[in-house]
Structure 1
Amino acid sequence: MTFGKKIGGGRRAGSRATILLAASVMGKGIGHRVAVMDLSATGAKLRDADAPQAGTELWIRIANVERLSTVQWARGGFMGVLFDKPLIPRELYELHRQNSISIATKLKPEERLAVDDWNIGLAR
């Protein structure tokens, strides 16, 4: 039995697309930058060396999209979060558009994250 994958009877509610965007997470005693590794309307996988434990509530900001979320799992420098309110199609489209632009520029992942930081005002 496979867990965590939509195909094969897992628990994932929505299909996810691989992306790489910078995000910020905030919560009780938590406030730092993370990388969004994949995204769906209902949640995301984040790269975070200091991932909080499952059940932790976080406020996440990806570009101009903000959501309350709950950590579903955390291990190996990654975590999966479930959004309190699903992203609407326009928000998903905009996040994927931003990811496509950064891919088209052929920047390295670290450079893409630095550009995202600049765009949301963290690197100014």
Structure 2
Amino acid sequence: MHFGIRQGGGRRPAKREATPLPALLTTLGRTYSVEAVDLSITGARLRGDDLPEIGTELELKLESLNAFAVVCWRKDTECGLEFDLPLSGPEIAALCNDVARSAWMPADVRQAFDHWKNGFAR
């Protein structure tokens, strides 16, 4: 099954939560800085200028969440991930708390903080 799409189209099988937060995608050879647009227990939709190809296996780092996934679709500046294992209720709750806590920060400040937290700031 592709991220968020049932056979024949229609409604997505898992509820989505908006997560307008900076995130990191890490593959064996590269790290991508992206924005997580939304996610569900089964996957995530991301936005960025330079995204990995369909079929790329990676790790998503988004606030307190670390999840292994594969890129299952890509179009223009967006792509969809399908998680190897569905997220648990506590993982989603922690991420919702992270989103609420950083909602007051402008996007550039959130991104700078995320880069600092993950060791990319100099």
Same structural fold, with TM-score higher than 0.5 when normalized by the shorter chain: yes
- Per the TM alignment, residue 11 of structure 1 is displaced from its structure 2 partner at its CA by 6.7
- Per the TM alignment, residue 32 of structure 1 is displaced from its structure 2 partner at its CA by 2.2
- Aligned length in residues: 118
- Per the TM alignment, residue 121 of structure 1 is displaced from its structure 2 partner at its CA by 4.1
- In the superposition, the TM-score normalised over structure 1's length comes to 0.80
**How do residues 105-120 of structure 1 correspond to structure 2 at under 5 angstroms?**
105=104, 107-120=105-118
CA distance 1:10–1:56, change in 2 (3 Å): farther
Identity %: 36
- Per the TM alignment, residue 53 of structure 1 is displaced from its structure 2 partner at its CA by 2.1
2:58 and 2:10 mapped to 1: Cα distance? Answer: 24
Is this contact kept in 2: 1:37–1:47, CA < 8 A? Answer: yes
CA distance 1:43–1:19, change in 2 (3 Å): same
Is this contact kept in 2: 1:21–1:116, CA < 8 A? Answer: no
> What corresponds to 2:80 in structure 1?
80
* Structure 2, gaps ≥5 residues long: none
**How do residues 19-98 of structure 1 correspond to structure 2 at under 5 angstroms?**
19-98=19-98
1:116 and 1:97 mapped to 2: Cα distance? Answer: 16
Q: Residue 107 of structure 2 aligns to which amino acid in structure 1?
A: P
- Helix, strand or coil: the match of 2:101? helix
> What corresponds to 1:14 in structure 2?
14
Is this contact kept in 1: 2:32–2:50, CA < 8 A? Answer: no
Q: Residue 120 of structure 2 aligns to which amino acid in structure 1?
A: L
Aligned residues: CA RMSD: 2.3
* Structure 1, gaps ≥5 residues long: none
- In the superposition, the TM-score normalised over structure 2's length comes to 0.81
